[in-house]
């Protein structure tokens, strides 16, 4: 615990120096209480969250630095320090480069995107949405009149992280991983272009699947090993009146087997601050079921107001009838304090879930956040 505090204190001192002013807001303290319950009872944990950001210049080039941490006082070994962004962005004509460590967000869905597969996650208590982990990368973005081309390589990938509250499959097997830093290099390319109200993108990925796929059964445990992946993907969004129609999908070889996945959805903006979402997922073969919610129907609503943001989603499995929920809210009480909450859960028959997929337990997170 003390070493994490020393690291974050040094970073805070560096970032608050006078040579380069702080850019944006720094979320330095968040008290998180998490309660997780299941068939074997319930457990709770307290986290102290930190998030420090800085933008400046070095050698006449722009650089970004964003560091976050989830510090667990009762079990320091389960703490997480995440270098979200530490990149230099030189620009030469129509080409922008990005060197360092960071994130890469392709695709549309935040929960089950078949295109967003290159970035590792930290699974703290939610099997659907994990904390995105920064990892070493080299990226080039070429901006041309006829479209934008991005090429990125991850030469030294980062392993997934389990935070202790998400620890088993639907069969009750304990999750584990043998993966280490740099075990799976990968790269991808994406071309995007807008045609009036229509945004199109196609992509290719060669590496390993970093999304939460099912584990491999072993004696006394279930090993989570990212399968090899080669796939081509697409994204399309069409804004027409109060509706946003969208779809994304990918087809390729995952772990040596051909597999396709796709999402089709519509978002209706019923009011300036309120929208309703309906989205259906598809998968061609059985291993696709081991990716959370791959074939479920998602019904949701989003509220984005000046001081309140809220999101509610319910996923329904069309075969088993099992339901999964995700609800989150953030209320800005003042300019320096906010209250946050998140609830995830499920109901139905556990035996009808994929046996070696990550098990979603019922979890409630409540946070008090202070900004400095």
**Whose structure tokens read 């809220």?**
310
Model confidence band, residue 288 (pLDDT cutoffs 50, 70, 90): low
Residue 371, classed as helix, strand or coil, is: strand
Q: CB–CB of 81/69 below 8 Å?
A: yes
Which residue has better confidence, 182 or 173?
Answer: 173
* Residue 351 CB partners (closer than 8 Å, separation 6+): none
Model confidence band, residue 211 (pLDDT cutoffs 50, 70, 90): confident
**Whose structure tokens read 């799976």?**
184
Q: Which two tokens stand for residue 41?
A: 């009872």
Q: What is the pLDDT of residue 190?
A: 98
Which residue has better confidence, 92 or 19?
Answer: 92
| pLDDT over threshold 50, residue 24 | no
Q: What is the pLDDT of residue 287?
A: 56
| pLDDT over threshold 50, residue 4 | no
Distance CA(158)–CA(104), nearest Å, equals 13
Distance CA(139)–CA(106), nearest Å, equals 13
| 331: phi then psi, degrees, rounded to nearest 5 | -115, 120
Based on C-alpha coordinates, what's the Rg of the chain? 21
Dump the DSSP string for 186-248: EEEEEEEEEETTEEEEEEEEEEE--S-PPPEEETTEEE--PPEEEEEEEEEEEEETTEEEEEE
| DSSP-assigned letter for residue 166 | S
| DSSP-assigned letter for residue 286 | G
Q: What is the pLDDT of residue 195?
A: 94
| pLDDT over threshold 80, residue 327 | yes
**Whose structure tokens read 């304990």?**
174
What count of other Cβ atoms lies within 10 Å of the Cβ of residue 349? Answer: 10
N-term to C-term CA, the chain: 23
| pLDDT over threshold 70, residue 345 | yes
Overall pTM > 0.75: yes
Q: Which two tokens stand for residue 281?
A: 């997922």
Taking alpha carbons only, the member of 98, 103, 101 closest to residue 119 is 103
Q: What is the pLDDT of residues 114-146, one digit of tens each?
A: 999 999 999 888 887 889 999 999 999 999 889
What count of other Cβ atoms lies within 10 Å of the Cβ of residue 297? Answer: 15
Q: CB–CB of 301/274 below 8 Å?
A: yes
Question: In the β-sheet with 221-223, what is the strand arrangement from edge to edge?
Answer: 175-176, 221-223, 216-218
Cβ-count burial of 144 within 10 angstroms (0-12 exposed, 13-18 middle, 19+ buried)?
exposed
Q: Which two tokens stand for residue 115?
A: 């295109």
CA angle, 350 as apex, 358 and 253 as ends, to 5°? 40
Dump the DSSP string for 34-99: EEEEETTEEEEEEEEEEEEEEEEEETTEEEEEEEEEEE-TT-GGG-EEEEEEEEEE-EETTEEEEE
Q: What is the pLDDT of residue 186?
A: 93
Mean pLDDT of the chain: 86
| pLDDT over threshold 70, residue 11 | no
C-alpha dihedral (163, 139, 246, 295), degrees to nearest 10: -40
Q: What is the pLDDT of residue 221?
A: 82
Q: What is the pLDDT of residues 236-279, one digit of tens each?
A: 999 999 999 999 999 999 888 889 999 999 999 999 899 999 99
* Residue 193 CB partners (closer than 8 Å, separation 6+): 146, 147, 148, 199, 200, 201
| pLDDT over threshold 90, residue 59 | no
Least confident window among 46-50, 186-190, 240-244: 46-50
Model confidence band, residue 15 (pLDDT cutoffs 50, 70, 90): very low
| pLDDT over threshold 80, residue 60 | no
């Amino acid at each position: 615990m003390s070493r994490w505090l020393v690291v974050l204190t040094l970073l805070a001192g560096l970032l608050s120096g006078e040579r380069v002013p702080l850019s944006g807001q720094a979320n330095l303290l968040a008290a998180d209480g998490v309660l997780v319950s299941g068939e074997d009872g319930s457990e709770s944990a307290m986290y102290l969250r930190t998030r420090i950001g800085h933008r400046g210049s070095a050698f006449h080039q722009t650089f970004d630095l964003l560091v976050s941490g989830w510090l667990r006082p009762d079990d320091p070994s389960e703490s997480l320090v995440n270098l979200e962004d530490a990149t230099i962005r030189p620009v030469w004509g129509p080409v922008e480069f990005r060197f360092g460590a960071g994130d890469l967000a392709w695709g549309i869905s935040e929960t089950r995107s078949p295109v967003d597969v290159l970035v590792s996650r930290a699974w703290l208590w939610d099997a659907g949405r994990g904390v995105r982990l920064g990892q070493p990368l080299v990226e080039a973005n070429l901006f041309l009149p006829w479209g934008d081309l991005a090429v990125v390589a991850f030469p030294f990938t980062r392993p997934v992280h389990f935070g202790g509250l998400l620890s088993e499959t639907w069969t009750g097997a304990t999750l584990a991983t043998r993966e280490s830093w740099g075990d799976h290099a990968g790269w991808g390319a994406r071309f995007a272009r807008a045609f009036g109200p229509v945004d199109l993108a196609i992509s290719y990925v060669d590496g390993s699947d970093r999304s939460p796929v099912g584990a491999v059964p072993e004696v006394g445990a279930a090993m989570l090993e990212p399968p090899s992946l080669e796939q081509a993907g697409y994204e399309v969004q069409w804004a027409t009146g109060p509706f946003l129609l969208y779809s994304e999908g990918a087809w390729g070889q995952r772990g040596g087997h051909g597999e396709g996945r796709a999402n089709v959805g519509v978002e209706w903006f019923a009011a300036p601050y309120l929208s309703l979402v309906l989205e259906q997922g598809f998968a061609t073969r059985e291993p696709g079921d081991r990716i959370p919610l791959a074939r479920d129907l998602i019904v949701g609503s989003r509220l984005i107001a000046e001081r309140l943001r809220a999101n509610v989603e319910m996923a329904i499995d069309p075969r088993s009838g099992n339901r999964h929920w995700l609800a989150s809210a953030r209320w800005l009480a003042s300019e320096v304090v906010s209250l946050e909450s998140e609830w995830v859960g499920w109901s139905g028959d556990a035996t009808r879930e994929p046996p070696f997929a990550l098990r979603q337990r019922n979890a409630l997170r409540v946070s008090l956040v202070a900004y400095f």
